Structure 1
């Protein structure tokens, strides 16, 4: 198993790659979710198309990457911490007979096999959910900053000034939307790890990896599929979180009040605003992120083996 430094670097690299390439999906999703349900567009275009047209008309193509700096501040350390802590926790849990997978990775001596620990579905569910919520709590202020930078409802002049403005409003503002985030992230991360490891394991049995590129393809497809499945289950909490973090009206202050507001205004459909964009973003970011993460750790393992045999 690679050491913590390698895991942190690999996670940071994964976070940087996914954030830089996929920021437009996050921005458009936030813009779609930020609106008050009482106000709906009557144009004869889809909400996605209308939102895209609005951004391009006001800021051009560069506008699609608005908030990238804030996203990097949240996602690079966030992904690094999440993936590293997840790997470390799973490694520790793998020493317990309660969580050790009864079905080990096929062909363990295969140099192209996954380097990550193998746990039961229960172990993977607990590890993913616990790690994601803990990291989310620590970085929630940056999540608020990210959401507000992606919206068009705030006119911050600098990242430092924006964060200072949020901090001056006290702990309640710094932790704004955390409950919704936790209710979204805990099931998402837990289910994702279960689905990812399960799909990857079955794929490895069916087609044992013969090269690094083969393994990368398996990791990417497994992560994309797992991301899609976990995203739809947790989409309503993503909408609720965004409303709480960017809307200023009293009816959006608090988790249950926001849930009621969305329901009264638009019913069940209101909880799925931006679902297609979040789905697209999660599928692509999961595929890219986990392929990069596992790929780098496999590269380090191969390099270490070459050194040992030289």
Structure 2
């Protein structure tokens, strides 16, 4: 299996695992973000979102059973499996390209960090550029799938099948196919850039701490320990990047699931959210998205790097 195939397979497995496990978070986040107001629960000023989340989840389970929390899983898989595969593969290729430039190559590579990763080492500027550019490019290519995913999770659309959803979207024209693409790019570029920078920094620090007592151990870090480093690093980076980009996620969801004129453009959507909910409106669903990103990052990057390490690790000689 060549290098590109390894990254594609690792990324696809990563996207599949995180989507299947965490789809309820995406579903509930979309339901939180789709309305203009949290009207039903305005009597609880302390935590209207928490009340809405619990009530929405209870309503879905009562009407559709536990399977209802996984509504839209097929659409999510259609978006996330190729999306994560392309992102990880593109990220590696772009990082490999940037690593050829002295400007983006660290002056001193960490041997301990190298022992828990198979990926190219870059400066913070290189990681920021690689993450942002790759995520935006993949997001634009797969934006139609993102629109279908958001609408499947919303309660405003009732598609009979994925084919019906795609036919309806295509017939609507380019304006619908790329609905919310700008808001998605404004969210994805800083998110991915910040994530990769923090992920590599945290991973490097943890790897150095693990191998500090005995530098000789650095060359043979156990797979389980590597997985723990990747999971913790990704979860921490995911939390920081999610908090910084939450407002753009709200704008993206509004633009993709609402049909009113005020949600046709980024600035008009900003005005609508501000007028209806104020600052709090830009953080609707933040708890769910934060939880989802922390877990998906931990699962996704552990699976991705773990598969690569397992594939590339030389077999033990039989005695």
Q: TM-score, normalised by structure 1?
A: 0.95
Query: What SS does structure 2 have at the residue aligned with 1:226?
Result: helix
* 2:169 corresponding residue in structure 1: 166
Deviations 1:56-82 (A, max 9, x none): 222121100000000000000000000
CA contact (8 A) 1:144 1:174 kept: yes
Q: Which residue of 1 aligns with 2:236?
A: 225
Answer yes or no: is 1:242 the counterpart of 2:253.
Answer: yes
| 1:298-309 map, 5 Å | 298-302=309-313, 305-306=314-315
CA deviation vs aligned residue, 1:192-213 (integer Å, no higher than 9, x gap): 0000000000111111263110
Specify the alignment match of 1:204 in structure 2.
207
1:1-310 alignment, distance < 5 Å: 3-37=3-37, 39-42=39-42, 46-107=51-112, 112-208=115-211, 210-302=221-313, 305-306=314-315
SS at match of 1:83: helix
Q: Tell me, what secondary structure is at the counterpart of 2:104?
A: coil
Once the two structures are TM-superposed, the CA of residue 254 in structure 1 deviates from its matched residue by: 1.1
- TM-score (ref. length: structure 2): 0.92
C-alpha separation in 1, matches of 2:108 and 2:151: 45
Contact 1:89/1:127 (CA < 8 Å) preserved in 2?
yes
How far residue 15 of structure 1 moved from its aligned partner, in angstroms, is: 0.2
For 1:138 and 1:40, how far apart are their aligned partners in 2? Answer: 38
* SS, match of residue 111 in structure 2: coil
8 A Cα contact 1:106 1:204, kept in partner = no
Checking the alignment, whether the CA contact within 8 Å between 2:98 and 2:126 is kept in structure 1 is yes
CA distance, structure 1, for counterparts of residue 317 and residue 136 of structure 2: 39
Q: Shift of the alpha carbon at 1:37? A: 2.7
**Which residue of 1 is the match for residue 215 of structure 2?**
none
Query: Deviation of residue 158 (structure 1)?
Result: 0.7
d(CA) in 2 for partners of 1:2 and 1:39? 54
Q: State whether residues 11 and 79 of structure 1, in contact with CA within 8 Å, keep that contact through their aligned partners in structure 2.
A: yes
State the number of aligned residues: 306
Q: Secondary structure at the match of 2:106?
A: coil
Does the 8 Å CA contact 1:37/1:262 hold for their aligned counterparts?
no
Kept after mapping to 2: 8 A contact 1:15/1:289: yes
Render the CA deviation track for 1:73-120: whole Å, top value 9, x for unaligned. Answer: 000000000000001110111111010012312247x7x421110000
CA RMSD of aligned residues (A): 1.9
Larger mean Cα displacement after TM superposition, 126-135 or 112-121: 112-121
- Kept after mapping to 2: 8 A contact 1:10/1:296: yes
8 A Cα contact 1:86 1:131, kept in partner: yes
Separation of aligned partners in 2, 1:92 and 1:309: 38
Cα distance change, pair 307–106 in 1 and its aligned pair in 2 (3 A): closer
Verify the 8 A CA contact 2:14 2:303 in the aligned structure 1. yes
Shift of 1:41: 2.9
Distance 1:308 1:298 in 2: 17
1:38–1:265: 8 Å Cα contact kept in structure 2? no
